[in-house]
Amino acid sequence: MTPVRPPADSTDSGVHRPKSTKVQRLLRLIASLVDPRAWAHQVKLLNFYNYSHVTPRRLMKIGPSCAISPTATFAYGNRIQLGARVLVGENARLWAGPGVATITIGDDTMLGPNVLITASDYRFRDGAPINRQAMNEHAISIGADVWVGGGAIILAGAEIGDGAVIAAGAVVRGVIPAMKVAAGVPARVVGHREIGSNKIL
């Protein structure tokens, strides 16, 4: 049996754009390069990067041999202090308080990708719209040799002791003692690191 082809004017036959020539493609490229909308977007990106990474980083106290991802962002860098050999992963966000709250991170600490550390939050009890309410600020202290897993959130007032491990995705508010492993939402101690080894118990 011979397959039946739909008539040429059928709506099911589809519409095909004619192939563009190399000259047409080149002209489109040139047009996009001189399009002010494209440049405006680039200027916005550059301004955001300068505002969220370059300028605050100049104000931070950074110890020797730190490795900071170019996609990490910071707020109020004058209140952020990193010890020696700190690793700040991709898309990590360190936001000190707009008034007084600081973020202090000890030597040899690692922050995984997408970690959020914020030293302030909004109040929500006085009936005003949330973006008009006052902010609470509390300093954050993260000790030396701490590992903060990817996507973890460290909230205002958190204190994490030396050698602690914070599991990926954990939300920390309050105190995590030294050499403890914390996981969950909210984060709770679920184990500890054995002193003098890399074992986690």
Q: What is the pLDDT of residue 128?
A: 78
Which of 34-48, 61-75, 130-144 bottoms out in mean pLDDT, i.e. has the lowest? 34-48
For residue 50, pLDDT beyond 80 = no
CA pair distance 13, 153, nearest whole angstrom: 53
Q: What is the pLDDT of residue 14?
A: 56
- Residue 196 pLDDT level (bands cut at 50, 70, 90): low
For residue 137, pLDDT beyond 70 = yes
Peptide bond before residue 186 is cis, with ω within 30 degrees of 0: yes
Q: What is the pLDDT of residue 200?
A: 57
Q: What does the chain come to in residues?
A: 201
Q: What is the pLDDT of residue 38?
A: 72
Which of 22-31, 86-95, 170-179 bottoms out in mean pLDDT, i.e. has the lowest? 22-31
Most confident among 56-65, 70-79, 132-141, 152-161 (mean pLDDT):
152-161
CA pair distance 82, 110, nearest whole angstrom: 11
For residue 3, pLDDT beyond 70 = no
Going by C-alpha positions, the residue among 137, 145, 178 that lies closest to residue 159 is 178
Residue with tokens 């309410």: 133
Model pLDDT for residues 93-120, shown as the tens digit of each residue: 999 988 899 999 999 999 999 999 999 9
Going by C-alpha positions, the residue among 164, 127, 30, 100 that lies closest to residue 187 is 164
For residue 156, pLDDT beyond 90 = yes
- CATH classification (class only), 60-192: mainly beta
Model pLDDT for residues 158-190, shown as the tens digit of each residue: 999 999 999 999 999 999 999 999 999 999 999
Indicate the pTM of the whole model.
Answer: 0.73
Q: Distances in Å between the alpha carbon of 8 and those of 12, 13, 15?
A: 9, 7, 11
